[in-house]
Amino acid sequence: MSAVYINSAACISVQDTLNDQFFQNLQPVYSPQVLKAIEPIYKEFIPPAMIRRMSKTVKMSSVASNQALKEAEIEKPDAIIVGTGIGCSQDSEKFLKNVLDNNEEFLTPTFFIQSTHNTVAGQIALGLQCHGYNFTYVNTSSSLEFSFLDAKLQINDGDAENVLVGSTDEQTERTMELYKLNETIKKEENLPADYLNSTTDGAIWGEGASFFVLGKDKTESAYAQLKDIQIINRLDLDETSKFIEDFLVKNNLKTNDIDVVMLGFSGDAKSDVYYQKASELFTSSSLLYYKHLSGEFNTASGFSTFMACHILKNQEIPNVMMINDLKKGEIKNILLYNHLGGNDHSLVLLERV
């Protein structure tokens, strides 16, 4: 397989990641149950007449995708692939509320049309007048990883040279209420959250959109080479080490070849045990965590990939992300490990270019 490069990266998140100085100004958050993304002034990027018809996830994705294409100096990609966990849930809720309020009569179709998961990829394509391959993956916490895998195949098969890949998820009032009821979101009495040594279940919930341009050729703006991706739906705790070791063997690497390991500790005691198990393998690597900066959500791995890209490019690790105090002189290989609630485990290997 030929090399695939991440030539640009853009992110809207709980941090001010659209700001050039965000790397030095990361602020961990331990107390609120739900974290809101820092949104840009949309009228600077999107015509005002269009803004009022867009849900939050579409607006965030439109800006992030625009920034990613701009950085890669590409006007129109050959393909657009988006991963999302709960899609355009704001418009889904609005449509369902209209159904109930109007006794299933005289319904406006707009909210229904815009409630489908592929709305984001479709809206981006319409804005760019891009008639190429357009696909949306809805695979909970591995949605972005499936999107990356598809993009890699598109490039290796010669069907595309540059692919816009993104991940996005928004919050909605009703969904957050339900997540609190089933304790997906941490109870107020268990806050502030201890992300690394939690004894309580649930996580602080976030949101955001991350977009990347993948290309077959390395550009001046390139961040990393996307080496490999591995995904598994279910994994027993005692199989964690083998899952990671087999992935490294497949890529002719040993654990001490990995300079940085990014683990998705969320403060959920029940599922963080997988990350604790994984961390035991890497005694000579920098161990990082990130969900105290982004919150937990279906496509939080978009934030971790964005951060990993900047760590590789800057050759610098923000202290606020460190689990241990080990830092190597050169950062060449970064391994990202993520899951959501103990399901849909993914490994992504990035290499310095």
> Quick one: pLDDT at residue 94?
76
> 């695979």: which residue's tokens?
139
Residue 232 pLDDT: 97
What per-residue confidence (pLDDT) applies to 118?
86
Kindly report the CATH number that applies to the domain delimited by 5-215: 3.40.47.10
Global pTM?
0.94
Whether the CB-CB separation of 51 and 43 falls below 8 Å is answered with yes
CATH number of the structural domain 224-352? 3.40.47.10
**Model pLDDT, residue 264:** 97
Gap between the Cα atoms of 279 and 36, Å rounded = 29
How far apart CA 307 and CA 6 sit, in angstroms, is 13
Quick check: do 5-215 and 224-352 share a fold? Answer: yes
Q: Which amino acid, residue 98?
A: N
Neighbours of 305 (CB within 10 A): 29
Q: In what order do the strands lie in the sheet with 5-12?
A: 133-137, 79-83, 162-169, 208-215, 5-12, 224-232, 343-352, 333-340, 260-263, 286-289
Q: 317-350 burial string, b = 16+ CB within 10 Å, else e? A: bbeebebeeeeeeebebbbbbbbbbbebbbbbbb
Place of tokens 């941090």: 15
Question: In terms of DSSP bridges, do strands 333-340 and 162-169 run parallel, antiparallel, or are they unpaired?
Answer: unpaired
Per-residue confidence (pLDDT) for residue 266, from 0 to 100: 97
Q: For the chain, what are the domain ranges? A: 5-215, 224-352
Phi-psi region of 255 (alpha: psi -120 to 50; beta: other; left: phi over 0): alpha
Each residue's pLDDT, cut to its tens digit, for the chain (353 residues) gives 689 999 999 999 999 999 999 998 999 999 999 999 999 999 999 888 888 888 899 999 999 999 999 999 999 999 999 999 987 777 777 777 778 888 887 777 777 777 788 889 999 999 999 999 999 999 999 999 999 999 999 999 999 999 999 999 999 888 999 999 999 999 999 999 999 999 999 999 999 999 999 999 999 999 999 999 999 999 999 999 999 999 999 999 999 999 999 999 999 999 999 999 999 999 999 999 999 999 999 999 999 999 999 999 999 999 999 999 998 989 999 999 999 999 999 999 999 99
